Structures are given as structure tokens and as C-alpha cells.
Amino acid sequence: MSVMRLDKFLADAGAGTRSDVKIKIKKGQVTLNGKTVGKSDIKINPDSDEVCLDGKKLIYNEFEYFMLNKPQGVVSATTDAKDKTVIELITEAKRRDLFPVGRLDKDTEGLLIITNDGKLANRLLAPGKHVEKTYFAIIAGEVTEDTVLRFAEGIDIGDDKPTAPAKLKLKGTYDKEEITKITYNNVSDGNNSGNDTIISEVEITITEGRYHQIKRMFEAVGMRVIYLKRLSMGNLSLDDSLKPGEYRMLTDEEVKLLVGNF
């Protein structure tokens, strides 16, 4: 790894903002290879130099990877003047260059990767890579084998060209009397007007990321998405133990799974 400024190392290691760490350095709270330092612009080698804050050795990771179960009501952005962002949900000490890999709609839940690895993010999102993304959805309308075939052929959603073929799997259908038995988080009367006679549960896998793509695909065949949750992206699946709004760091094995898509 190339050399870097001491204050950047500290900030990236979760010691605070650049301003915070400069104050800590001036106060003598930082040592470099056992000696107290007083300047923030000293160049260090993260691979060979030992940096301690208040006597505790700091470990530097060039990249960080988090798995977030995105809840409804937050936006997939780094900053937003109106709504809470997914980055704000990462509450532990964190570096300032984190960003979400792609976007989930504000009312969509599920797997979202948070990282600072731009190269990996670009690969996961590049149209030419055809990385699969699988969702669970509750649909107002009756999904049939004909619907499955239409999705497999690609759907005209009003763009310059139809969508790429999508894999649609029917999980179950419910008539009007059975609809009240379906209980999912955040599936409210506002989403289900009560006028729907048939509700379908599906899994859908797409390889693109067009604007509101899944919603527009079902609208194009006369149906409506009531609830949407992303289950997987590439080889990585959402940890079932994570409740909406919860997150954890990816394991080394899970990072390898993501890289294994290429």
C-alpha cells in the first residue's frame, strides 16, 4: 500500500473527522511507532507503521463492506436534505467515503451493500456484467404462467428498448377472502386498497437496474407492486437475521462471493 497522510489514516480508521483527528494529534494522543507525533501531515505506510490512539493500535482497511437490510422510508444516497439516508443507519465509527452500491426505492426493503470500494461497485452495477438481483414481491393481480413467459421474453416499459429477460417464479396466489391472512411488515391498507380480488406472491430476478424497473414491468402487464424486498445481489444473499434497519460487516468469504461474480 502506498504512503498516506497521518490524519487521513486516522480518519479512515474511524478515529473521527479530519478536524477531529488533527485536534487529537495536537493533544499528543497519537503515537507513530511508539513516539508521540504533533503534526497531521506526516506521511506513513499503513502496512509497516504502527499508529496508536490513546495507546490503542489502529487497524487500517483500505476498503470496508457492510450488508444492510434497508427499511422503508430511507433513501439510497449519501446525503439528502429531506429524508434519512442509508449511510446514516451505519451508526458505528465509520469512514466518510462510504456509499450505497446502487439504489433501492424509498419504499423498497432488503439487501443493500454499503462500501467505499468504487471498483467493485462499478462492476456490480455495470450493465454488461449482467449481475442478477432477486426480489420477493407481493403483487396486486393474478400472476400466471403466461405472465412468467412474458417476463422471460422482456417487457416493454416505455423505454427505448424492452427490458432484458427476467426470471419470474410464482410463490402463491390468494383470493379476496384469503388476502387478510397475508401479514408482512409494512404491507398496509394504503398499498392494498381492498379492491384487489387476487394477490400473488412472486420472486423475480433481473439483470438490469432501470428506474422503478420491477414496478413498471408489472404495471405494463396490468398489475401493481404492493411490497418489494431485495433478497440477493449476485452471489450474496441477505442475512435473514438482520431486521429492517440493521446491518453488519461482510465476512471475508462474503466479499469473495461478490468478487466471484466477475
Band of residue 93 on the pLDDT scale cut at 50, 70, 90: low
Query: For 182-238, how does the pLDDT look when each residue is reduced to its tens digit (9 = 90+)?
Result: 555 445 444 544 557 889 999 999 999 999 999 999 999 999 999 999 999 999 999
The pLDDT value recorded for residue 1 is 63
Mean pLDDT of the chain: 90
Catalytic, out of 49, 80, 97, 105: 105
CATH topology of domain 65-126+245-259: Alpha-Beta Plaits (3.30.70)
**DSSP H or E run through 216:** helix 213-220
pLDDT tens digit string along 14-28? Answer: 888 889 999 999 999
Residue 145 and residue 123 in contact, taking contact as beta carbons nearer than 8 Å? no
pLDDT at 258: 86
E strand residue ranges, the chain: 4-5, 30-32, 35-36, 43-44, 51-53, 56-57, 65-70, 99-100, 109-115, 133-140, 167-175, 198-206, 224-233, 236-237, 247-249
- When pLDDT is cut at 50, 70 and 90, the band that residue 150 belongs to is very high
Architecture of domain 4-57: Roll (3.10)
Please tell me the class of the 132-233 domain. alpha beta
105 is annotated as an active-site residue: yes
Q: Where are the domains of the chain?
A: 4-57, 65-126+245-259, 132-233
Q: What is the pLDDT of residue 171?
A: 94
Spatial contact of 28 and 38, defined as CB atoms under 8 Å apart: yes
Q: 65-126+245-259 and 132-233 share one CATH topology?
A: yes
Residues 6 or more apart whose CB falls under 8 angstroms from that of 203 comprise: 134, 135, 136, 137, 168, 169, 171, 231
Please tell me whether residue 169 adopts helix, strand or coil conformation: strand
Q: What is the mean pLDDT of residues 121-140?
A: 93
pLDDT-derived band at 169 (thresholds 50, 70, 90) equals very high
> What residue spans of 15-144 are helical by DSSP H?
18-26, 118-125
Q: pTM (2 decimals)?
A: 0.85
For range 161-183, the mean pLDDT = 83
**Residue 195, pLDDT score:** 58
Angle at 85 between CA 83 and CA 86, to 5 degrees: 150
Which pLDDT value is given to residue 12? 85
